[in-house]
């Protein structure tokens, strides 16, 4: 399968006091009850990057995104957005700060129409003019949704539901977009479409942290990556270097 080319956007202009990092995790430990799920995870995402987090099922990838988005709170460590701690905030407060997640399994509102799902993504916003512009932008990114605005979300195909889930996240006008397994269950042609769109979203200025089972596609579109195993980061570096790493090739790329 061919992979979309990465177009790295120009770095956005920042105030002198603004952190060069869009997102940072420092020694994060997260638990489910007594289960120690994340064991000292440290990673960072610079402004304008696509960074991918790869690993086997159960490694802690989704837990990492849930910790960033405030669904889970770490018992130890820090999560920072542009240098400010957000690990004590509620999920809706983190969305208002500019971080939004498109969750694994899509989780759209199946009984709502496509239009209503997208409008729900902007529930916390009050800038009507900008909301309308973002609505048009989402439909330009996903023309199929424009054809199905009045259709119930639950009647869409899997690929269309994934487009809707990403579009709904974009309606919050995020600075950092968290994507959890966007290609899961999709046909190869739709996988390529989704990844091409992720690159375009990034080109438009949105920083992306991507969790993805399709490690080859993820590393092809990302500038950097991390490998997570049993709650710990075991490798990290430029995406092209990770593709050449023997351990990554054997464990995640199917290359013997």
In total, the chain counts a number of residues equal to 256
- Taking a C-beta distance cutoff of 8 angstroms, is the pair 176, 81 a contact? yes
pLDDT band at 105 (very low <50, low <70, confident <90, very high): low
Query: What value does the mean pLDDT of the chain take?
Result: 90
Higher pLDDT pick, 41 / 12: 41
| The pair of three-digit structure tokens given for residue 105, joined into one six-digit string | 């399994």
Measure the CA–CA gap between 87 and 108, rounded to whole angstroms.
25
Tell me the pLDDT tens digit for each residue of 119-157.
999 988 888 889 999 999 999 999 999 999 999 999 999
- Taking a C-beta distance cutoff of 8 angstroms, is the pair 153, 189 a contact? no
pLDDT band at 4 (very low <50, low <70, confident <90, very high): low
| The pair of three-digit structure tokens given for residue 86, joined into one six-digit string | 């957000």
Domain ranges for the chain, please list them. Answer: 21-98+174-252, 107-172
CATH number of 21-98+174-252: 3.40.50.300
pLDDT at res. 61: 96
């Amino acid at each position: 399968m061919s992979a979309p080319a990465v177009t790295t956007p120009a770095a956005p202009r920042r105030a002198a006091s603004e952190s060069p990092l869009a997102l940072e995790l420092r020694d994060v430990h997260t638990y489910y009850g007594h289960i120690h799920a994340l064991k000292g995870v440290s990673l960072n995402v610079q402004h304008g990057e696509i960074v991918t987090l790869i690993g086997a099922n159960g490694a802690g990838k989704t837990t990492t995104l849930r910790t960033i988005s405030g669904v889970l709170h770490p018992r130890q460590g820090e999560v920072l957005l542009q240098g400010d701690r957000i690990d004590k905030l509620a999920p809706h407060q983190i969305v208002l700060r500019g971080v939004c997640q498109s969750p694994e399994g899509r989780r759209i509102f199946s009984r709502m129409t496509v239009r209503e799902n997208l409008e729900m993504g902007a529930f916390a916003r009050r800038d009507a003019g900008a909301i309308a512009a973002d609505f048009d932008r989402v439909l330009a990114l996903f023309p199929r949704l424009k054809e199905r605005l009045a259709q119930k979300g639950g009647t869409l195909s899997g690929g269309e539901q994934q487009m809707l889930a990403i579009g709904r996240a974009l309606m919050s006008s995020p600075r950092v977009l968290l994507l959890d397994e966007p290609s899961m269950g999709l046909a190869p042609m739709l996988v390529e479409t989704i990844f091409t769109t992720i690159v375009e979203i990034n080109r438009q200025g949105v920083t992306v942290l991507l969790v993805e089972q399709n490690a080859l596609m993820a590393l092809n579109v990302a500038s950097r990556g991390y490998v997570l195993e049993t709650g710990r980061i075991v490798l990290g570096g430029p995406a092209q270097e990770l593709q050449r790493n023997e351990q990554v090739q054997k464990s995640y790329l199917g290359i013997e």
